[in-house]
Amino acid sequence: MRKPLQSIVVLTGAGISAESGIQTFRAADGLWENHRVDEVATPEGFERNPPLVYEFYNQRRRQILSPEIRPNPAHSALAKFEHDFLGNFVLITQNIDNLHERAGSKKLLHMHGEILKMRCLNSKLVFDIREDLVFETECRCCRSPGNLRPHIVWFGEMPLHMHEINLALKGCDLFVAIGTSGNVYPASGFYQSAKIARAHTVELNLEVTGSGFDEHVYGKASEIVPAFFEGILSSSG
């Protein structure tokens, strides 16, 4: 008989929020909302053209705050699972949106930052933000303009919470990746770390990504995520 699951790590990507109306990143042609990633998601892009980068994330923020963007059944299923599952559960997201927390997830690691936060370039202090961020926005700690940037991990920068993530991967017996293309390092290698820890690895995605998970479930996140996690709860009694 299979041992009951004690520790589960879930990684989500842009695909889990696609049915909430937020475009994925690589699905079309490597562009993020019609922009090249080196323009809007690298420190060099920010140095070259801060107004463009500020405006890109202002648009993302306005979108997240618009009434038509809501969590979908996949986000809700993960929040319910966190509440009902008796073992350890860690949810890691590559997404910068706030749909997991809006669905009720509590233990959540935003490894690529959050669109509703900004950071001081000097003090590294992080602040909430719901309005537009522009060069003229006065920093709440330095009291001067031009010191703030979106609290987003750009390409070439170190993702957040890596110590906690690595510990969770080392100790898990099930690793599930949902709606991620596996193109962005280091998240793309998490399933291999989980395998080294002898975890069972499962990919839930709309389409084949060519990665080496032990098990694959294909379909829309809003359908396959609730079914998958309800299945775990019913088999663990």
For 81-85, the CB contacts below 8 A with 24+ separation are 81/229, 81/232, 81/233, 82/106, 82/107, 84/233, 85/8, 85/232, 85/233, 85/236
> Residue with structure tokens 């996949």?
74
| Catalytic choice (35, 112, 163, 216) | 112
Total residues interacting with ligand NAD, rule: CB under 6 A: 28
CA atoms of 76 and 222, how far apart (whole Å): 9
Closest distance to ligand NAD from the beta carbon of 52 (Å): 17
Q: Residue 154, SS3? A: coil
Helices of type H across the chain = 15-18, 37-40, 43-48, 50-65, 73-84, 99-103, 162-170, 190-196, 221-235
Q: Which of 151, 150, 153 is nearest to 133 (CA)?
A: 150
Which positions from 93 to 112 touch ligand NAD by CB under 6 A, shown as an x/- string? Answer: -xxxx--------------x
**Cβ 4 to ligand NAD shortest distance, Å:** 27
Sheet containing strand 126-128, strands side by side: 126-128, 113-120, 148-152
Q: What is the distance of C-alpha 198 from the center of its chain?
A: 24
Q: In this complex, which beta carbon is closest to ligand NAD, that of residue 171 or of residue 219? A: 219
Smaller CB separation from ligand NAD, 181 or 193:
181
Least distance to ligand NAD from the beta carbon of 169, Å?
17
Q: Is 112 a catalytic residue?
A: yes
Q: Is residue 71 at the binding interface for ligand NAD, with CB under 6 A as the rule?
A: no
Residue number, 86 or 126, with CB nearest to ligand NAD:
126
17 binds ligand NAD (CB under 6 A): yes
> Quick one: 68 or 136, whose CB is closer to ligand NAD?
68
Which sequence positions are flagged as catalytic? 112
Site of interaction with ligand NAD (CB under 6 A): 13-15, 17-19, 22, 24-27, 32, 94-97, 112, 179-181, 183-184, 205-207, 209, 220-221
